Chain A
Amino acid sequence: GNSVTQMEGPVTLSEEAFLTINCTYTATGYPSLFWYVQYPGEGLQLLLKATKADDKGSNKGFEATYRKETTSFHLEKGSVQVSDSAVYFCALNALGYSSASKIIFGSGTRLSIRP
């Protein structure tokens, strides 16, 4: 079946450090891949996405590249800020745009940035 595995948290970094949050997936076909972010007290927001192999999604300084050969979609940022403290969810949509498509989420990684 379809599933997403992401590194467990919490992850604690100092401001301006380099960030990597690992994510691997299992899916039939060619899923779309997402990173969602949940800031304290707020709802889930789409951070970035990639829809096919070798695509790179990017937003707010975050990047992730769709790697089909390693079934991975690792999230990276070169220099984190305190405002990046949040919970990050890797997710996939295995059925594309069909009416039956649904998103499967990983368990989330809590990121805390120290000033």
Chain B
Amino acid sequence: EAGVAQSPRYKIIEKRQSVAFWCNPISGHATLYWYQQILGQGPKLLIQFQNNGVVDDSQLPKDRFSAERLKGVDSTLKIQPAKLEDSAVYLCASSPLDSDEQFFGPGTRLTVL
């Protein structure tokens, strides 16, 4: 079974630029999560989708971050414009309905200069 796929793996941009990350969850998983993991910290949930609807986006900085999951499968997370403090690893995870286990992708490491 293929795992959660993310791209790109690494991205370096300058502040005020825009960036987008892509995630393809495990086939059949209804729930998709985006996390931000700052160096030395645990992952922090940014947004949770169930199918193509948003379940929780309370910690998403909506002035600069946006995410969508069209057709309830893959998802994109965008930052526009980026700030220095956005430097982090962005993790995507998915889980089946009615499961408390999440499966994580390898992450995208973002460096904002």
Contacts and interface: CB of A to CB of B under 8 A. Distances in A.
Q: Do A and B share a complex?
A: yes
Given A36-B104, A108-B40, 14 more contacts: A4-B42, A43-B3, A43-B91, A46-B102, A46-B103, A51-B100, A99-B55, A100-B55, A102-B45, A103-B100, A105-B44, A107-B42, A108-B41, A108-B42
A42 B106 contact: yes
B98 to A, nearest CB: 5
B50 A101 contact: no
Contacts, number: 56
Interface in A57-102: 89, 91, 93, 96-97, 99-102
Given A32-B100, A43-B4, A107 B40 contact: yes
Interface of A: 4, 32, 36, 41-46, 49, 51, 89, 91, 93, 96-97, 99-103, 105-108
A89 B93 CA distance: 15
Interface in B9-29: none
Contacts of A42: 106
B93 to A, nearest CB: 8
Interface residues of B, number: 27
18 contacts: A32-B100, A41-B106, A43-B4, A43-B104, A43-B106, A44-B104, A49-B101, A91-B42, A97-B98, A97-B99, A97-B100, A99-B31, A102-B48, A102-B56, A103-B45, A106-B42, A107-B41, A108-B41
B72 interface: no
B42 A96 contact: no
A49 B99 CA distance: 12
Nearest to B3: A43
B43 A105 contact: yes
